[in-house]
């Protein structure tokens, strides 16, 4: 398997046609998506700490969202380039990251057609990001192509079974036509990840659990309704009867995580670490 610039498109920064719907959906969260990242921030910190960026290194953050992981890496003194296909998320990322030194460079780009030369980066990170690209094989090839020999990779992806699968399954039941292609959750399966990345990287896997604390069921609904693009889009599109049924199911899901202090949502994930061959 080879990883060359032949995988790139001439329209750098434009979403691939099969990812345009995904870009629009995630963009709905806008700046409020940063709170979604706050809810999974322990997992994002896990990835950045295992990546262990050094001052002066060139690091790429793929599908940066509002830039949370890019900021985690930049605080170590690395020179970070961060890309996403969702314009409203990128706008928020630039605003939220303006104080950092060295500054983060934000660019519009599709994970399946990264506008960078081969071996451009010392390390690549993606946290709950590249897993949502429509073309898994193409996205994996791009991660490998832009990472230099002996460079490092850190990906955080959701586990194929468990809390997130259940949550996204509720949302999926109300989506008229789910996006084509393999499930994003399959990135969390070790065999699938090895098939995608094992030729290019020596891989290590480290499971984790994200802990999210919320005051209650209504607070959880409002949290995701404001900033989680897939859910926000449904809320805007569903007729009243379906919206009521959808909210009832989401509320019941969150109610299962009640503890005396409120809610404690536990979500299983996989950290994939790689060393470029």
CATH code at 186? 3.40.50.150
Q: Is residue 121 part of a domain?
A: yes
**pLDDT for 6 beyond 60:** no
**pLDDT for 163 beyond 70:** yes
Instruction: Give residue 117's domain range.
Output: 10-161+175-213+267-276
Residue 14 pLDDT: 63
**pLDDT for 10 beyond 70:** no
**pLDDT for 8 beyond 90:** no
Residue 179 pLDDT: 66
Q: Is residue 77 part of a domain?
A: yes
Please choose, from the candidates 115, 139, 119, the residue with its C-alpha nearest in 3D space to the C-alpha of residue 129: 139
Alpha carbons 57 and 92: distance in angstroms, whole number: 24
Residue 68 pLDDT: 98
User: How many residues are given for the chain?
Assistant: 277
Instruction: Write out the H or E segment, with its range, that includes residue 230.
Output: helix 229-237
Q: Is residue 2 part of a domain?
A: no
Q: Is residue 245 part of a domain?
A: no
Count of structural domains within the chain: 1
The mean pLDDT of 240-254, rounded to a whole number, is 98
Residue 3 pLDDT: 42
**pLDDT for 123 beyond 70:** yes
Q: Is residue 248 part of a domain?
A: no
Q: Is residue 62 part of a domain?
A: yes
Q: Is residue 146 part of a domain?
A: yes
Q: Is residue 50 part of a domain?
A: yes
Degrees to nearest 5, angle at CA 73 with 212 and 99: 95
**pLDDT for 1 beyond 50:** no
């Amino acid at each position: 398997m080879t990883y060359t610039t032949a995988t790139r498109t001439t329209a750098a920064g434009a979403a691939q046609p099969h990812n345009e719907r995904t870009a629009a959906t995630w963009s709905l969260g806008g700046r409020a998506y940063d709170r979604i990242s706050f809810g999974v921030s322990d997992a994002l910190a896990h990835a950045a700490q295992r990546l262990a960026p050094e001052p002066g290194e060139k690091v790429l953050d793929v599908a940066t969202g509002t830039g949370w992981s890019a900021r985690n890496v930049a605080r170590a003194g690395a020179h970070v380039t961060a890309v996403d296909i969702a314009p409203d998320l990128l706008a928020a990322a630039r605003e939220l990251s303006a104080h950092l030194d060295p500054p983060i460079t934000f660019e519009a780009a599709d994970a399946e057609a990264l506008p960078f030369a081969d071996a451009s980066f010392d390390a690549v990170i993606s946290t709950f990001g590249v897993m949502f690209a429509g073309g898994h094989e193409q996205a994996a090839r791009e991660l490998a192509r832009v990472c230099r020999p002996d460079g490092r990779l850190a990906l955080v992806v959701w586990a194929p079974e468990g809390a997130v699968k259940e949550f996204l399954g509720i949302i999926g039941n109300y989506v008229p036509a789910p996006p084509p292609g393999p499930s994003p959750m399959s990135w969390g399966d070790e065999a699938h990840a090895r098939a995608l990345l094992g030729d290019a990287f020596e891989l290590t896997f480290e499971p984790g659990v994200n802990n999210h604390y919320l005051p209650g069921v209504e607070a959880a609904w409002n949290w995701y309704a404001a900033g989680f693009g897939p859910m926000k889009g449904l809320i805007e599109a569903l007729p009243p009867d379906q919206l009521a049924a959808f909210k009832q199911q989401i509320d019941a899901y969150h109610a299962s995580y009640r503890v005396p202090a409120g809610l404690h949502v536990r979500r299983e994930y996989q950290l994939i670490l790689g060393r470029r061959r």
